[in-house]
Chains A and B, each alone.
Chain A
């Protein structure tokens, strides 16, 4: 199984600023998913990007995927205090087992 590695481990920004988080992985993938975890809660799925897609949008979220570099990024535009959470990527490997492996995540703090 393959684990994504999020970078940075922690990020602190002011409300209204953009937040960018990165994810790197090692082997070819079918798709890659991003999840958010608010403090004390379970993970919530944000977006899935397939290996043949380069960019995907969902509201204030923009995800990019570069399969040649084996990396993905999650951009949150015009951040809000409510975006404060940990963000995880989960690459879905080709030919791998049927399980996602989550990294340690990026802890985002948006200061009001």
Chain B
């Protein structure tokens, strides 16, 4: 298996632009997680899905952030409009069972908003 795939690996954009991050989880995994990592705040869980359904989005910072999972093999995290404080590394992870199982992380997308 190729593991969790994220694209793009790097994104540089200007303030106010829309940004879309993409994730393909490991086949057969029922849970998908989106995290954001910064030096100041560490690794924060933004939202997670179970069987394509959003379960907990309490970590989504504000309405500018939205996430979708249209099918079991694809998810997007969208920021519109983007702001410089959104600059961070965004990770996607998947797991077979959420609570007791291992999470497998993708390589991350490094987002820079100028």
Query: For A99, what are the chain B residues with a Cβ–Cβ distance below 8 Å?
Result: 33, 45, 48, 56, 98-99
Known contacts: A30-B99, A105-B42. The answer to whether A43 contacts B91 by CB under 8 A is: yes
Size class of the contact patch on chain A = 20 to 34
Q: Which of these, B33, B56, B100, contacts A92 with CB under 8 Å?
A: B100
Contacts of B100 in A (CB 8 A): 30-31, 92
Known contacts A42-B106, A43-B91, A45-B104; A101 and B99 CB within 8 A of each other = no
Q: Mark B86-112, 1 if CB is under 8 A from A, else 0.
A: 000001010000111011111110000
Would A42 and B99 count as touching, CB distance under 8 A?
no
Query: Quick check: B43 and A98 within 8 Å, CB to CB?
Result: no
Complex contact A41–B107 (CB within 8 A): yes
Nearest-Cβ distance from residue B59 to partner chain A, whole angstroms: 9
Is the pair B93, A104 in contact by a Cβ cutoff of 8 Å?
Answer: no
Given A41-B108, A42-B105, A42-B107, A98 contacting B91 (CB threshold 8 A) = no
Name the interface residues of A22-64: CB closer than 8 Å to any CB of B: 30-31, 33, 35, 40-45, 48
Knowing A98-B31, A99-B33, A99-B48, the reply to whether A43 touches B103 (Cβ < 8 A) is yes
Q: Is A85 an interface residue (CB 8 A)?
A: no
A104 interface neighbour in B42, B56, B104, B105, Cβ under 8 Å: B42
Q: How far is the CA of A63 from the CA of B97 in the complex (A)?
A: 22
Contacts of B98 in A (CB 8 A): 98-99
4 tightest A-B CB contacts, nearest first: A42-B105, A98-B98, A45-B102, A102-B43
